[in-house]
Amino acid sequence: MGLEGQHVVVTGAGGGIGSVVARSLAASKAAVSCWDRNQGQVSALRADVADQGYRMLDIGCDVSDIEEVEQALAKSEAELGPVTGLVAIAGGAAGERIPFLELDAESWQRMLTRNLTTAFASCLVVGRAMAARRRGSIVLFGSQAATAAAPGLAAYAAAKGAVRQLASSVALELAPYGVRVNVVSPGVIETAANRALITGGESALVDRIPLGRAGQPGELVGAIGYLLSDDASFTTGAWIDVDGGYTLI
């Protein structure tokens, strides 16, 4: 992926998608800082790859908290040098399906914090550092829910739709500083956490995917790697669907 010499932060690196992305970036010779509020998960990830020669750092961090993000960035750069890339994966629907008429303020705010505030905080803090150096690539995570409605996901869809506009706005403002901002938008991706849902309650979603199956976490890596690399040096403000064609219908 042409990432040798880069230092990439992956938020949500302890999750099923985040850990695969972090491993793949490290295997491409990037130094990787893994941020996750679950310190145990990212510590286990680092320990698992310790004998493979990867440059990987694990940091426990609530990426919805700007102060914690600032502290995590300082630790990452002290250990691995200036950050050149950010992949903001932290978020997700966490298996929650709440009909709109049953939503309450707490559920609404929890989903926005998990998906929108995490993107904002990491983008703001890391974006400031990149702008000061006039170099960097930020990859935010969208979702097919941002453009294709599904029952019970109003709060999640609203948050991911806002991420799309956040990315466009930040891409415009950071372009003069040489910092690119793009979005990778996954469809139904099979992980250990949602495998049972995909074969059960979520099977209807899989049935309407033109390619006829759920995606795998590793199938997101190519789009992410492209956006982080110099091959995408003229690409900013883009939204790339990796959803098996789900949003075509």
What amino acid positions are annotated as catalytic residues?
156
Between CA 146 and CA 235 the distance in angstroms is 21
Token pair belonging to 236: 């900013």
Which candidate, 27, 57, 62, places its Cα nearest to that of 45?
57
Between CA 135 and CA 179 the distance in angstroms is 5
Between CA 164 and CA 237 the distance in angstroms is 9
SS3 assignment, position 2 = coil
- By CB atoms closer than 10 A (0-12, 13-18, 19+), residue 6 is buried
Q: Which residue has the tokens 């996750």?
A: 36
Instruction: Round to the nearest angstrom and report the end-to-end CA distance of the chain.
Output: 31
Q: What are residue 130's phi and psi, to 5 degrees?
A: -65, -45
Between CA 87 and CA 194 the distance in angstroms is 22
